[in-house]
């Protein structure tokens, strides 16, 4: 694929998502993505098409920052349970991450190479294994923007497969816990809800533990 084709493809993808976002906004349905109850009602109304909507919404939430992903993930667990909910969340998040990665790779990678070339020789950016590890760790940290990491990764030398594997591994714990939280909400089990919230918080310290193990385990 030549440079011009890459730019045209990348711009086309961006325009499609802008078009969809504007239509959602004008139709007044954008606010329902922020509210678990409203989204739950919508999913039940469309029946068997609900999982597809969850996947599309999760994908869109990754590509377009204004759409929050947490309410969508919780609603998936609330409506479909933690097992199927987790699966739909993972598929949607993975697709969204790959779309964001592709946009960045198509529109920004060539520019970065022309601008910096081989001057980017920091080992953590030059090694694909290190890049995979960085992506995996950042996926575990809730307050680091999921979409920014996806776009930034597209500017590096990491391949699609490595990016996809690191992303999938990193988002699995949070996806399961968010879906499980939604499932617990449906059962009104307060004790399990508190435990799930604590586990979601615990995910944040996992990267610190991994870092300490790598640091002191290498000695």
Q: pLDDT tens across 4-58, in order?
A: 888 888 889 888 888 888 887 776 667 777 778 888 888 888 889 999 999 998 9
Task: Give the model's confidence band at 183: pLDDT under 50 very low, under 70 low, under 90 confident, else very high.
Answer: confident
Q: Which pLDDT score, from 0 to 100, does residue 55 have?
A: 93
Task: Give the model's confidence band at 84: pLDDT under 50 very low, under 70 low, under 90 confident, else very high.
Answer: very high
Determine the Cα–Cα distance for residues 75 and 193; give it in Å rounded to an integer: 14
Q: Which pLDDT score, from 0 to 100, does residue 107 have?
A: 87
Lowest mean pLDDT across 36-50, 60-74, 174-188, 189-203: 189-203
Q: Which pLDDT score, from 0 to 100, does residue 197 have?
A: 53
**pTM of structure:** 0.79
Q: Which pLDDT score, from 0 to 100, does residue 169 have?
A: 92
Task: Give the model's confidence band at 156: pLDDT under 50 very low, under 70 low, under 90 confident, else very high.
Answer: confident
Greater model confidence, 164 or 178: 164
Task: Give the model's confidence band at 199: pLDDT under 50 very low, under 70 low, under 90 confident, else very high.
Answer: low
Q: What is the mean pLDDT of residues 198-208?
A: 55
Q: 89-143 pLDDT, tens per residue?
A: 999 999 999 999 999 888 887 766 666 555 555 544 567 788 898 898 888 776 6
Give exposure, 121-147, as e/b (b: 16+ Cβ within 10 Å): eeeeeeebeebbbbbbbbbbbeeeebb
Sign (positive/negative) of CA torsion 161, 162, 164, 165?
Answer: positive
The enclosing H or E element of 71 equals: helix 70-116
């Amino acid at each position: 694929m030549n440079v011009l084709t890459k730019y045209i493809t990348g711009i086309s993808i961006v325009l499609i998502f802008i078009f969809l976002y504007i239509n959602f906004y004008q139709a007044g349905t954008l606010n329902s993505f922020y509210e678990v109850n409203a989204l739950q009602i919508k999913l039940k109304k469309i029946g068997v098409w609900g999982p597809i909507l969850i996947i599309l919404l999760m994908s869109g939430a990754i590509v377009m920052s204004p759409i929050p992903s947490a309410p969508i993930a919780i609603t998936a667990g609330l409506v479909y349970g933690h097992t199927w909910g987790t699966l739909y969340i993972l598929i949607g998040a993975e697709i969204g991450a790959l779309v964001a990665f592709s946009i960045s790779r198509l529109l920004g990678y060539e520019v970065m190479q022309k601008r910096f070339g081989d001057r980017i020789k920091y080992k953590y950016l030059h090694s694909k294994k290190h890049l995979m590890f960085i992506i995996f760790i950042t996926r575990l940290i809730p307050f680091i923007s999921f979409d920014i990491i996806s776009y930034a990764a597209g500017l590096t030398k990491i391949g699609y497969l490595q990016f996809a594997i690191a992303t999938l591994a990193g988002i699995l714990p949070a996806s399961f816990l968010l879906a499980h939280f939604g499932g617990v909400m449906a059962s009104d089990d307060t004790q399990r809800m508190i435990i799930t919230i604590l586990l979601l918080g615990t995910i944040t310290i996992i990267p610190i533990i991994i870092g300490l193990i790598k640091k002191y385990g290498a000695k």
